[in-house]
A and B are shown apart, each in its own frame.
Chain A
Amino acid sequence: MTIAFLNLDLQTIADGIALGAIYALMAVGIGLVFGVLRLVNFAYGQLVMAGAFALALASQWGWPLWGGILFCFAVVIALSIAMEHLVFRPLRGHSPAVMLVATFAVAFLLQNIALLWFGSLGKIATSLAFLNRVWTIFGADVHKIAVVAVVVAAVCLGLVQFLLQRTEIGLHMRAASMDFATSRMLGVRANRVVSFAVLVSGVLAAVVAVMLTVQTPLVTPDFALRDTIVVLAGVVVGGLNRPIPATLGGFLIGFTTGLLGGVLPTNQSQYLPTFVFAAVILVLLVRPRGLFDLSKTVERV
């Protein structure tokens, strides 16, 4: 009895960590674009959704696994570049509220295009289903995807950190996210930095699409919509201005959601969104600049 209870607990913790890892990747994707453009991309989830549909179509057409994943990356990257050119670029310099509502519109638009195209019943992505089986580690059953997600997320986060800290374009991105106007005067090419940030964020969206389809093989037009809302809340809770707090915020909310979802009985877990979003409101009230923001700056005239 005790063992069984412990086993369940370890698996739940692993699943929570896995969800946290996936959300952390989404948080980085949203945070990178916010850094350079001061734009909260509400349509990020629809990039993931497009990637998931690409995977589902590929598995429906009987493509090999690598073909499907390649197709997914191609679709997501093409879509994010198109989004940058058609929406982000003309919006540059507008007020944050206008940009947020605009990406809200893009999200709604893409979701309805998917609805028109694929119908509301959705498609099933099966090619990676084998990752849903369990491994027995130290006597505990852990979904393979949980391990894969954590490893992939760690590698991706490491690469992004390397990119930001050790390369020239990364230096430019950090400069641009501190002060866009000044960095331009000092020779940072705005379009290059923005395109690059959007590109990296698109790659991360594709990675997220691959991993989320393992957990939820049924791909519907509102795929990843709820996740995006939760991640956005997590990112703001963590502190949107800097990449590491944003990532931590994403991880934290994913881990909390996953853990509570596994631990609570059904008659309480249906109220999970209420718990999570009430916690979000509470944190925002206590620390409106983010949970991990330790600086004490006051708005000046």
Chain B
Amino acid sequence: MTRHLEELVAPVALIVAAALLGTLATLSTQTYFVDTLVKVSIVVALYVFIGNSGVLSFGHISFVALGAWTAGVLSVPAAEKGAIMPNLAHFLVHRHVGNLTSLVLAAAVGGVAAFVVGVPLMRLSGLAAGIATFAVLEITHNLLTYEERVGPGQNAFSSVPETTGLRQAAVAGVVCVVVAFVYARSRFGRLLRATREDAAAARAVGASVYLQRLVAFTVSGALAGLAGGLYVHLLPVQVNSVYLDLTFVTLAMLVVGGSGSLFGAVVGALAVSALDSWLAVAENGTSLFGWHVDLPAGTAEIVVGSLMAVVLILRPNGITGGRELRLRRRPA
């Protein structure tokens, strides 16, 4: 593992650089930087499963949502709980935890949920897996929308303490990257990638496709839960903000960057996020090299959608080609 430690340099450096750049920005623009860093965590979570297994998952935003719900419900101040969540289950009404605990619990809930979902689902692959994970997203969204005993239903998580600033988002991003790196370089990650390259050959040397996918799904579910916790501490999350749009944007980031590598996941998240945020700013009017730019609302989604389609057509392995960035060229 130590031999590959240099592969960690580029992703961590990019996250730190983005955070440092954010400190220079005005307070209103800073939100975009924090948002970007949270997206990095989500995309790294996606990479742990999709990148290493080669199986598509449309369901990971469920775990982001569950993480957000966990951290949100436990962090809303007691005085506000009745207003936002009038029908909350009794055992949740008086529970209250601090920032760090809420994040840890969010990750735990994400991981447990992914494990529970993964036990039956990881037997599937290909299209069946894609549709089944999509079904998980639909079910989670449907239940969270109407199940007011565990959360605010269709209300937003307002008045959750906004503890996710640049520092928290960057630290969590680095944590996600390190976990993803350790996983990918562990025995589990290597076996899973072997099943990705050739499932039959991997089985022949004794790797269990099912078990390896389940491990990856659980790890990535925990990271997604953590990201959800970060998200709810950043802005008032609502049930539709952790649904199809977020699924699309984060998948776009992973694919544009290159789903085969951790570096690709981070680059994709940062690049698409930068473009997306700049366009969002431009929709309110901004200037670029002295030109006044004022784009109609909705341009950001159109540009990101086109970009994703173009990258997929021209470079199906993403802009990094799915490779890690190494400092020295190693002799072949």
Listed in ascending order, the chain A residues whose CB lies under 8 Å from chain B are 40, 87, 90-91, 94-98, 100-102, 104-106, 108-109, 112-113, 115-116, 225, 229, 232-233, 236-237, 240, 270-274, 277-278, 280-281, 284-285, 288-289, 299, 301
Flag whether B123 is at the interface (Cβ < 8 A): yes
Complex Cα distance A101/B305, Å? Answer: 11
Q: Is the CB of A116 within 8 A of B299?
A: yes
A233 to chain B, nearest CB (A): 5
Q: Is the CB of B316 within 8 A of A87?
A: no
Complex Cα distance A181/B274, Å? Answer: 42
Q: Which residues of A have CB within 8 Å of B138?
A: 229, 273-274, 277
Complex Cα distance A176/B22, Å? Answer: 54
Residue from B56, B123, B146, B298 in contact with A271 in the complex, judged by beta carbons closer than 8 Å: B146
Complex Cα distance A98/B312, Å? Answer: 7
Q: How many A-B residue pairs have CB under 8 A?
A: 119
Complex Cα distance A95/B125, Å? Answer: 14
Complex Cα distance A299/B316, Å? Answer: 26
Closest chain A residue to B247, Cβ basis: A104
Q: Which residues of A have CB within 8 Å of B143?
A: 271, 274
Q: Is the CB of B123 within 8 A of A281?
A: no
Complex Cα distance A94/B312, Å? Answer: 9
Q: Which residues of B have CB within 8 Å of A109?
A: 301-302, 305-306, 309
Complex Cα distance A171/B201, Å? Answer: 37
Q: Which residues of B have CB within 8 Å of A113?
A: 302
Q: Which residues of A have CB within 8 Å of B141?
A: 273
Render B208-248 as a binary contact track against A, CB cut-off 8 A, 1 for contact: 00000000000000000000000000000000000010001
A-side interface mostly: helix
B-side interface mostly: helix
Q: Which residues of A have CB within 8 Å of B54?
A: 97
Q: Is the CB of A104 within 8 A of B302?
A: no
| With A97-B56, A115-B298: A280-B251 Cβ-Cβ less than 8 Å | no
A265 to chain B, nearest CB (A): 14
Interface size band for B: 35 or more
Q: Which residues of A have CB within 8 Å of B255?
A: 98, 101
B66 to chain A, nearest CB (A): 15
Q: Which residues of A have CB within 8 Å of B200?
A: 299, 301
Q: Is the CB of B312 within 8 A of A112?
A: no
Closest chain A residue to B313, Cβ basis: A90
Q: Is the CB of A271 within 8 A of B251?
A: no
Complex Cα distance A100/B141, Å? Answer: 22
Q: Which residues of B have CB within 8 Å of A274?
A: 138-139, 142-143
Quick check: which of B27-35, B99-107, B128-136 contacts chain A, the rest being far away?
B128-136
Closest chain B residue to A278, Cβ basis: B139
Question: What are 15 A-to-B residue pairs whose CB atoms are below 8 Å?
Answer: A98-B255, A100-B56, A102-B308, A104-B251, A105-B248, A105-B312, A106-B309, A108-B301, A108-B305, A113-B302, A116-B298, A116-B302, A274-B138, A280-B135, A281-B135
A30 to chain B, nearest CB (A): 12
Closest chain A residue to B120, Cβ basis: A285
Q: Is the CB of B127 within 8 A of A105?
A: no
B255 to chain A, nearest CB (A): 5
Closest chain A residue to B145, Cβ basis: A270
A40 to chain B, nearest CB (A): 7
4 tightest Cβ-Cβ pairs between the two chains A and B = A109-B305, A277-B135, A112-B301, A116-B298
Q: Is the CB of A288 within 8 A of B123?
A: yes
Q: Which residues of B have CB within 8 Å of A233?
A: 131, 134-135
Beyond known contacts A112-B305, A277-B136: 7 more, CB 8 A cutoff = A97-B130, A98-B255, A105-B252, A115-B298, A274-B138, A277-B139, A288-B124
| With A108-B301, A112-B298: A281-B136 Cβ-Cβ less than 8 Å | yes
Q: Which residues of B have CB within 8 Å of A278?
A: 135, 139
Q: Which residues of B have CB within 8 Å of A273?
A: 138-139, 141-142
Q: Is the CB of B131 within 8 A of A236?
A: yes
Q: Is the CB of A106 within 8 A of B136?
A: no
Q: Which residues between 290 and 305 of chain B lie within 8 Å of chain A, taking CB atoms?
A: 296-299, 301-302, 305
| With A116-B297, A116-B299, A274-B139: A94-B130 Cβ-Cβ less than 8 Å | no
| With A97-B56, A102-B313, A105-B309: A229-B127 Cβ-Cβ less than 8 Å | no
Flag whether B121 is at the interface (Cβ < 8 A): yes
Q: Is the CB of B132 within 8 A of A280?
A: yes
Q: Is the CB of B302 within 8 A of A91?
A: no
Residue from B127, B301, B309, B316 in contact with A236 in the complex, judged by beta carbons closer than 8 Å: B127
| With A100-B56, A116-B298: A236-B128 Cβ-Cβ less than 8 Å | yes
Closest chain A residue to B143, Cβ basis: A274
Complex Cα distance A274/B301, Å? Answer: 29
